[in-house]
Amino acid sequence: MAIRPDIPPKNLTEMSREAIAALVADLGEPAYRADQIHGWVFQRGARSLDAMSNLPKRLRARLAEAGYAVGRVEVGQLRESIDGTRKLAVRLDDGAVVETVLIPMGEGRFSQCVSSQVGCALDCKFCYTGTLGLSRHLTPGEIVDQVLLARTLVPDDVRITHIVYMGMGEPLHNFDGVVQSIRVLTDPEGIGFSPRKITVSTSGLVPKIKALGEAVPVNLAISLNASSDAIRDRIMPVNKRYPIETLVEAVDDYPIHSRGKMTMEYVLLGEVNDSDTDAHRLARVLARVRHKVRINLIPWNPFQGPGYDRPEEARVRAFQQILERRRYTVTVRTTKGLDIDAACGQLGERPAS
């Protein structure tokens, strides 16, 4: 489909029903055409204007001429791990590549991890995406496209039931793009995800946490990753702006939308933040929100460069037990997709070897 280069691309996959209705009205077309277009994009998964077979050719041509398209991404490499995790590379229209991961949850259900930026600006020392720096935010359509594309690639009996914003990028740095993508994903007449099945993970941009709570009723996960400011300063530069206490306060203020708890993620780095002392200190740091949170321990997923170690299983268990004895709910994240670089913190294009 030819797009006139002088017109900025317009992506139907990021448009609300109202925006599509306004577009159709602008074109002087009857209102029911808006329902048809919306249905094609968000329910029937059409990936091109030409696939919308009950729209008159003339209307499809006018949409194309005006610069509209269904999605501006292409399927890149799809890799499958021995544990069933699938990683999909998604090529954006400027050539950048982001990755999205489908994580099996049993009984044909998957959780999808989506990216929100090309790279990331926050420079956490243990994260591969952080080493890439930030190229740009994703548009809301590019985020929604990851979900729509994944749906076309999985067999009909597979259901994607949860979405987590834990792929490449810091979702709250791309606040507007992420919130708009959530609005589209949760439109009951469209893709229809329950906001309760969506989790946004953040490294702790405190003012934006509050804004997220006010904007959309989604679940929150916080990458805490340290039991003291001294350690967090070293591994997450963002801590210098928003230290642990301000973060815990933001968690305390965040509206709890479901029966579930908020997640405090804690990447365990051998001999950096995984000692008994750290576990006890963590228990104290989180005391005021203990009943609101679940701690999710993530043994570090290695990549070459930063020189961290993944702790032994016995160390992880000991850390968990200290917290449990202090009446915390603690889970250990099972590592999925390690063999295809699809585990937490491993996303991002590798240089060709």
Cβ(273)–Cβ(308) under 8 Å?
A: no
Cβ atoms within 10 A of the Cβ of 163, count? 27
Considering the complex, state which of residue 70 and residue 298 has its C-beta at the smaller distance from ligand SAH: 298
**Sign of the torsion formed by the C-alpha atoms of 272, 275, 280 and 282:** positive
**Rounded Cα–Cα distance for residues 147 and 169 (Å):** 16
Contacts of 353 (CB under 8 A, 6+ apart): none
Beta bridge partner(s), residue 10 = 68
**Active-site residue 127, yes or no?**
no
Which three-class secondary structure state does DSSP give residue 348? coil
* C-alpha closest to that of 18 among 181, 141, 147, 187: 187
Shortest distance, position 223 Cβ to ligand SAH, whole Å: 4
Considering the complex, state which of residue 33 and residue 310 has its C-beta at the smaller distance from ligand SF4: 310
Q: Please report whether residue 203 would count as binding ligand SF4 according to CB under 6 A.
A: yes
With CB under 5 to 8 Å by kind, the binding choice for 172 among ligand SF4, ligand SAH, none is none
**Rounded Cα–Cα distance for residues 336 and 268 (Å):** 16
Cβ atoms within 10 A of the Cβ of 156, count? 7
Shortest distance, position 344 Cβ to ligand SAH, whole Å: 4
Region binding ligand SF4 by CB under 6 A among candidate stretches 76-84, 121-129, 290-298, 303-311: 121-129
Shortest distance, position 166 Cβ to ligand SAH, whole Å: 4
Region binding ligand SAH by CB under 6 A among candidate stretches 11-19, 95-103, 287-295, 297-305: 297-305
Among 139, 181, 186, 202, binds ligand SAH (CB under 6 A): 202
87-146: contacts with ligand SAH (CB under 6 A): 126-127
Which residues sit at the interface with ligand SAH, rule CB under 6 A? 126-127, 166, 170, 201-203, 223, 225, 265, 267, 298, 300-301, 344-345
List contacts with ligand SF4 (CB under 6 A). 120, 122-124, 127, 129-130, 169-170, 203, 223
